[in-house]
Amino acid sequence: MTGRRRASGALLVAGAVVALAVGAATARSAPAGGAAAKAFPTGPVNLTMWWWGEQEAAGAKAWLAETVALYHKKHPNVTIKTVLQTTNGLVPAFKAAAAAKKGPDLQYFWGGIWSLEDAWAGSTKPVSDYIPAAELKHYINTAEDTYDGKVWTAGWYVQPSFPLLYRKDVLAKAGVAPPRTWTQLLAACDTLNAKGVTPLAGGISDGWFGGWLYSIIGAQGVNSVGDVLGAVAGKQKFTDAKHAAWWTRLQQLRDHNCWNKDINSVQLYQGQQKWSDGKAAMTITAGSDVKKFVTEVGVSKVGVMAMPKWGSGPYAGRLGSTSQTVGITAWTKYPEVDADFIMFMHTPERMSAWFKKTGAFPADDRFNTKLITLPQQKVLFNLVKHGAPYLENFIPTEFDSKANFAQAQLLLAGKADAKQAAQASEQIAARIRRTNRDLIANFATWSKSYK
Amino acid sequence: MTRRVGHLPKHAGLVLASLIALFPVYVMVTAAFKTQGGFLNHPFSLLAHPTLAGFRTALNDQFPRWLLNSAMVTGAAVAATLTLAAFAAWGFSRWSFPGRDALLSLLVSLMVVPPVVLLVPLFVFGAKLGWISTFRLVILIYVGLMLPFSVYMLSFFFRTIPPSMIEAATVDGASSFTVFRLIVLPLSGAPLATLAVINLLWVWNELLIALVFLQDDSKKTLMVGITGFESRYNLDVPAIMAGLTLATLPIVTVYLFGQRFFVRGLVAGAAKE
Amino acid sequence: MSAPGALLANSVGPRRRRRRLHLGRAEPLVWIAPAFAVVAFVFGYSMVELARQALEHKGHWVGLENFRLTVTDPTFQTALEHNARLLLAVPVLVLIALLLSVLLFEALRGWRFHRVTVFLPYVLPIPVVAVIFGQMLQLDGLVNKALRGAGLGSIAFDWLGQPSWALWTMTGVIVWKELGFGVILFLARLLSLPAETFEAARVDGARFFRLHRYVTVPQLAGVIAFYVVVEAITMVSWVFNYVYVISNGTGGPGDATQVAELYIYQTAFQYSAPDLAAAAAVMLFGATLVLIVVFFRVQRRAGFIAAGD
């Protein structure tokens, strides 16, 4: 299960409803006063945590249950109930809770826009108000959850987004070396096709893959995240060369028949399954899933790398990195206890246990990297240490689904070319700028921290 | 009636129709009993080595809970709808009052309103009251959505009750409620039963409203559950198919036993068996 | 005593003085009130709220701006266009349903079995149907496997993945499911007709197609009209579940399966623009108003389907 199976609006209750019920469109800050100023409560404390992640980091559920039990031993008056959400239900359930202003005390958020949208709506309290800065600075990828000088959610585990996995056996049999540059990739596609092997396996029938591709291909063309935020806010255009280039690259992949023929009619996991079955040479997976795929196929047969390089921007050749996070809700009665639990999740013993159980990297630079034994994970970790921002986290979700998902589907189905896709993207962005005024103002402010 | 077009093409036509109707169901049920590999390699065959692995995965999830929720919501919604619709239909049929036809027309015309249109206002309202993820709001909405058709059907039927029976009872001193209870209701067994089945079918299969208004994991109905289930296990086709089979079983069972009522109900009246 | 009176006496027991509520002329309204209250809340409140929301943006009055923004949205236009295309399925539904019902009516051997099976799709939940077809219609799914196996590989298209096919495929699934309703409607009507209707024609030597064209179909005119209107309403207002599950909530590929209901849903719940969704909803409701009027005309004509003409 990948890291990006997000709510397809299944239950996506409007942030509008939130706006109606809650009113605020700008980030509300929690009362100043520094972390842990209050004494730890002595009476019974019952907390609820809504989370996601078992789907992309198998073993998370067991780890969390263990963590809660250990925390209870440490603080017998605190009981924490955890509820695993479905992929489609995570965001809508939270938005519904926010509208009713009651629900969990701790909430799981994907990074970037996924954390900030709810921060803007006033549904969360910034963790930087409750976790000391000295502690918070160890957490990885806090930059993408920072807005207006505050860190809103705390990293839990890192999601390398998204590595390319290749089958050493399949490539060797076809006499192809793992492609490091874009030119090599296109050449590999040609050779593999001649030998009757699918070069790259994917699936885009449910759209998500479009967002992945945008991020791992598109990041190479921009100079910084500020470019993307600026384009959203209207200061740049999505038809500008640096933003439109990725469509051209995607079209090249299509024209060289790099993808499986049924990419438009299957979902991503089904595409990845072809790779596991040896029918394709390469595929793209969630970083946290690498251990699973490697184990399935065989350690000696799998190689891991970042998307082949075509661009010269600062992110080219680097693996995207984002952290899945936990946040404190605005209506919780015990924010300090919430924060304390988050910090407990980051204690060394807990972090080691997390990695051992799930194979995903804790979002903490104090993590004991000696525990990484799987060679592919070592590669992954090194890539992520010098990771680049994950672009999809920096655009409005409406733009993501209308531009990236839909246009990628059309392009791969042969119904659109790169130029049309880029123009469509800009039109979509222009329309969103008109209809969603607050979002744009927020993006403009956000882009100020990325100069 | 069979000259020129012989029996054969007609039989063929019916058989073809039945095959097309049944094929997806066949796929679903047979896949449920296969292993993943078995399904991929022999998608069409009947069970070679039936396994219950798919069902086990499905049942390990929250199927029993969803089933219970669906049963509860359906039962309450249908009961409430029948009661209110019967009262209202009686009000429309028994008495003639100014504006009756207009009011009835208005009520029935609401049948064409797309439910999605009602979602946002009702959700905002529910959120304000804290009724999201409560059964009462969902049941209320279902009843509202089913009333137009139900009132329509029942008022039509009630109008066929001979006025003489009503007159006689009233002359004997019965209150109108007694008349309703002791004459109208017993006579309405068939339409009430058919309406119950139609409404049951609708609520059981309903997705959108349950999706939006019952977000708590513990409150999900079967349809919502299987949609999420499908996305979680979408590589494990037998598990999905097992889940779908389980989800379909109750309704198909009811159909097979009550298909006479289904038929009658949908035609609201005079099908001869 | 009259029969009802006896009935009453037996159940009420020895005659007691019953206090009768004198509601007089207001009585029917008392009966109707509870149902009316629920309907007024669910529909009335919603529509008023909807209208209000469509005219505001974050609490400020903006007049028709939301309507303008929605009408100029190419996605909305595409959605409406697709609903219109779905309407094209209605004549197809009628034709096939007629054919099947006539075949069943001829009471060939095993017709009762066929009647049960043909109606089965209508009973199945839409999410279930959509998932199964979603699996079967993939490029390498069962349907194409069967086609290739039968040597028809050249028509094994990407039924759901190609934008040009996706909507037609969706229409096909909807037809598959909605057909049963028509078959049962027509069949029931046919069964209720007196036998003489067909006798005369038979004596005159009418063959299959002539017979049905000149005798059967006119007899079914009322029911056909009813079915047409009900299915037209479905194609405009009740296809959300199909589209949502088959396209994984995207309306894709691209915009290929976008419809009005999905548009409203996405705009409200995915893109956080409830005012725009409300405007679209108001417009959709306006379109269905037309159907309501037609629905009523048809009702009045058809009587109420089978119950005696």
Domain boundaries, chain A: 37-160+321-371, 163-318
Q: Alpha carbon of A107 to those of A84, A118, B210: distances in Å?
A: 11, 11, 23
Q: Yes or no: say if A276 and B36 are a contact pair by the CB < 8 Å rule.
A: no
Domain region containing B19: 7-267
Q: What pLDDT was estimated at residue A156?
A: 97
pLDDT for position B14: 85
Q: Which residue has the higher pLDDT, A194 or A6?
A: A194
Closest chain C residue to A121, measured at CA: C272
pLDDT band at C299 (very low <50, low <70, confident <90, very high): low
Task: At B7, list the tokens.
Answer: 């029996």
Q: Which stretch of DSSP H or E encloses residue B16?
A: helix B7-32
CA separation for the pair A152, A155 (Å, rounded): 10
**Residue A342: is its pLDDT beyond 90?**
yes
Angle made by CA atoms A176, A177, A179, in degrees to the nearest 5: 110
Task: Quote the number of domains for chain C.
Answer: 1
Residue B173 covered by a domain: yes
> Residue B148: inside a domain, yes or no?
yes
Output C260 or B162, whichever has higher pLDDT.
C260
- The parent domain of residue C117 ranges over 75-302
Q: Kindly tell me if the per-residue pLDDT of C3 is higher than 70.
A: no
Residues from chain B contacting residue A123 (CB–CB below 8 Å): none
Between A280 and A311, residue with greater pLDDT:
A280
- Tens digit of pLDDT for each residue in B68-78? 999 999 999 99
Asked whether residue C6 carries a pLDDT value surpassing 60, the answer given is no
Top-level class of domain A37-160+321-371? alpha beta
* The pair of three-digit structure tokens given for residue C176, joined into one six-digit string: 């598959």
The pLDDT tens digits of the residues spanning B44-93 come to 777 667 778 778 777 777 788 888 999 999 999 999 999 999 999 988 88
- Look at residue B124 and tell me whether its pLDDT is greater than 90: no
Map tokens 């509870």 to a residue.
C34
Q: How many CB atoms lie within 10 A of CB A137?
A: 10
What's the pLDDT tens digit per position in B249-260? 888 887 787 776
What's residue C205's pLDDT? 65
Give the strands of the sheet with A198-201, arranged side by side.
A198-201, A280-284, A164-167, A302-305
Contacts of B262 in chain C (CB under 8 A): 119, 123, 184
Please indicate, yes or no, if residue B125 is contained in any of the structural domains.
yes
| Both tokens assigned to B83 | 């009661």
Q: Do C42 and B84 touch, CB atoms closer than 8 A?
A: no
CATH superfamily of A163-318: Periplasmic binding protein-like II (3.40.190.10)
pLDDT band at A318 (very low <50, low <70, confident <90, very high): very high
SS3 B248: helix
A127, A326, A337 from A29: Cα distances, Å: 10, 17, 18
- What's residue A306's pLDDT? 94
Strands A320-329 and A388-389, how do they pair?
parallel
Out of A249-263, C197-211, C286-300, give the one with best mean pLDDT: A249-263
* CATH number of the domain to which C219 belongs: 1.10.3720.10
Count CB neighbours of A150 within 10 A.
Answer: 16
Interchain CB distance below 8 Å, B124 and A55:
no
How high is the ipTM of this complex?
0.80
A127/chain C closest Cα distance in angstroms: 25
B59 CA to chain C: closest CA distance, Å? 17
- d(C-alpha A278, C-alpha A433), whole Å: 45
Q: In the predicted model, what is the mean pLDDT of residues B118-143?
A: 86
Residue C247 lies in a domain: yes
Q: Evaluate the CA torsion angle C299, C305, C308, C309 in order and state its sign.
A: positive
Tell me, yes or no, whether C146 lies in a domain: yes
Q: Looking at the partner chain, which of A86, A92, A102 has a beta carbon nearest the beta carbon of B231?
A: A86
Q: Is residue C19 part of a domain?
A: no
- Residue C243: inside a domain: yes
Is B2 part of any domain?
no
φ and ψ at residue A303, rounded to 5 degrees: -120, 155
Burial of C17 (0-12, 13-18, 19+ CB in 10 A): exposed
Question: Average pLDDT of A227-233?
Answer: 92
What does the DSSP 8-state code read for residue A259?
Answer: B
Q: Nearest Cβ partner of C163 from A206, A405, A415? A: A415
* pLDDT attached to residue A34: 43
Q: What is the pLDDT of residue B125?
A: 85
Distance from CA of A89 to the nearest CA of C (A): 12
Q: Rounded to 5 degrees, what angle do the CA atoms C34, C288, B86 make?
A: 25
What is the count of structural domains for chain B? 1
Q: State whether residue C248 sits within 8 Å of chain A by CB.
A: yes
Subunits close to A (at least 3 CB pairs below 8 A): B, C
Supply A324's token pair.
């899945």
Instruction: Tell me what the pLDDT averaged over chain A comes to.
Output: 87
Q: Give the closest-approach CA distance of C99 to chain A in angstroms.
A: 33
Whether B139 maps to a domain, the answer reads yes
Contact C265 B24 (CB under 8 A): no
Q: Hey, of C31, C114, C271, which one would you mutate to test binding to chain B, going by the most B CBs within 10 A of its CB? A: C31
pLDDT of residue B120: 77
Q: Is B19 exposed, middle or buried (0-12, 13-18, 19+ CB in 10 A)?
A: exposed
**Which residues of chain B lie closer than 8 angstroms to C128, CB-CB?**
28, 226, 244, 247-248
Average pLDDT of the residues of chain C: 81
At C104-158, the pLDDT tens digits run 888 777 788 888 888 889 888 888 888 889 888 989 888 898 899 888 888 889 9
Q: Is B7 on the interface with C (CB under 8 A)?
A: yes
The CATH code of the domain that includes B170 is: 1.10.3720.10
Subunit contact A87:B216, Cβ cutoff 8 A: no
Upper half-sphere CA count for residue A126 (Cβ side, 13 Å): 25
More confident residue, B66 or A107: A107
Q: Does the pLDDT at position A31 exceed 80?
A: no
